[in-house]
Amino acid sequence: MALLIDIKHPDWLTDEELRAELLPHCPGADIRIAADPGNADEIEMITVSGYEPGEALRYPNLKLIQKTGAGVNNILADPQLPAAVQVTRLDASNSGAEMAEYALAYVLQEQRHLRQYHQQQARSEWISYPPRKAAETTVAVLGLGRIGQLVAKRFVDNGFRAVGWSRGAKSLENVDCFSGEDGLHQALARSEYVISVLPSTPETRQMFNLELFRRFNPHSMLINVGRGDLVDEVELMRALDDGLLAGAVLDVMSKEPLPADHPLWLHPKIQLTPHISGYHLGDATLDIAENYRRLQSGEPLLHLVDRGRGY
Ligand code: NDP
């Protein structure tokens, strides 16, 4: 049984680097890289970050697609994905901690007016503003899964009030949890910051549209670290122009890399980063070796995705 590594993001992690990391954990394993895949019939597991529609069909005996990350929407969106192929993702504790740090960094930047001071420095202006108090600030975390819970905890630990929203009802310490459409509206109305850590599924795609932005507190900021297609980007710009919300931080966009002539780049109320909020996988990559072993022995796989649910 061969495992083929075909990440497709060499600027982030090369196939060779991941192979070198995995080999000591599965000595003697047949681990190949995309540059030299060998006989496709022998490949039963592939490890990808980027994924092309129909990619699974290149390997007639494919049993498992292992994502080198948490979001699997690009794989599940493939209409040609055979029903028998399983999809797994990675543990998100390392990248989730980084995403919590990212969200906190942007929130603190607003709380302490750091962007204004940066602009004022260019004009040699000495004007002060009172810091906003964490204890009087509410952060909504939409998506209370592996990463969303880490994000909510990070804000609670830093003295913020936190509310959360998920599909099923949840009970989390020091987080007021909501579910359902009414619950979402209640969470939005109470919050100065709205952090989206949702997966892209048929239910969540384009959910951030004008209708929902009308439910936002006009002083609030959206921080999207989930997936770009959760947001109707044209309607986001319109909502910002109309004052339905005050600003947006987008780590993920509908089209990545974002084309250089895209209007999101120049919108004065939008801050962009190139999909880096959860960057390092840490030891999570070792789960790839473990899933390779489990696939061979027929044991239950780690971090198996529910293909019907979409995450
Ligand atoms: P999980 O599967 O652990 O959690 C997903 C959460 O979203 C769950 O709480 C789930 O609710 C909730 N959810 C799903 N659908 C809905 C819905 N229709 N309505 C309300 N809530 C919903 O995912 P992770 O926390 O591991 O990852 C979340 C996402 O973060 C990934 O899918 C990926 O897109 C993104 N990501 C982005 C990265 C970046 O660098 N920007 C890096 C890593 C991940 P319930 O608990 O009830 O099931």
Give the gyration radius of the chain's Cα atoms: 21
CA distance 252 to 230: 9
Q: Say which DSSP state 123 is in.
A: T
Average pLDDT over residues 246-270: 98
Q: Would you say 94 and 74 are in contact if contact means Cβ atoms under 8 Å apart?
A: no
Q: How many CB atoms lie within 10 A of CB 23?
A: 13
- Of 231, 148, 218, 146, the residue nearest 188 (C-alpha): 218
pLDDT value at residue 74: 96
Average pLDDT value over all residues in the chain: 98
Average pLDDT over residues 215-229: 98
Catalytic pick among 32, 89, 161, 275: 275
Is any ligand 1 atom within 6 A of the Cβ of residue 68? no
pLDDT value at residue 143: 98
pLDDT value at residue 309: 96
Q: Say which DSSP state 141 is in.
A: E
Could you tell me the distance, in angstroms and rounded to a whole number, from the CA of residue 197 to the centre of ligand 1?
A: 5
For 144-179, write each residue's pLDDT tens digit: 999 999 999 999 999 999 999 999 999 999 999 999
Q: Would you say 107 and 155 are in contact if contact means Cβ atoms under 8 Å apart?
A: yes
- Write down the pTM of the prediction: 0.97
pLDDT value at residue 44: 98
CA distance 53 to 68: 17
Residue having the nearest C-alpha atom to atom 16 of ligand 1:
167
Q: What percent of the chain has pLDDT over 90?
A: 100
